[in-house]
Amino acid sequence: MSDSVTDLIPHRPPFLFVDEIVSETADSLVARRTFRADEDFYRGHYPSQPITPGVLLCEAVFQTGALLMARRAKAAGAGEQGGVPLLARVSDVRFRNPVFPGETIEITTKIKEIVGGFTMMAGSIKSGDKRVLSVDFAVAWKTPGGAT
């Protein structure tokens, strides 16, 4: 796994929520992210009791899914040059535990099905032994300016 996260997906700080790829199989990918106490969103969510916004935890899962798609395309020799991953559907989001500044999460995405240009996935996050969230989602890889 010599590719870095930024070699594979177009996301960049401050909107990059995956630090590294930990492992992968043909249809799944595990990544990691540590939330630093100095990240700007903690100043407002919530100032006296900072907690990682659920929408950013979901985004970490979606970015991990984009990494999985990019790695599969690269392995197939297809590449996704010029395209960006676009979220097409989100369903069955379940938040189980909060994530606080300083925590390191493990993000897992698995491909459930690929149909008509859409990749359906299941994602989850754990922090140590603690389950954080699970979500089902669909992603399409599109070229900017192309037909929708």
119 in Cβ contact with 139 (< 8 Å): yes
Strands (E) across 7-83 are located at 20-24, 28-34
Cα distance between the two ends of the chain = 33
Q: How many residues does the chain have?
A: 148
For 40, other C-beta atoms within 10 Å of its C-beta total 8
59 in Cβ contact with 109 (< 8 Å): no
The answer for residues whose C-beta is within 8 angstroms of residue 57's C-beta and 6 or more apart is 95, 99, 105, 125, 132, 133
- 45 is annotated as an active-site residue: yes
User: 32, 45, 74, 110: which is the annotated catalytic residue?
Assistant: 45
Catalytic residues: 45
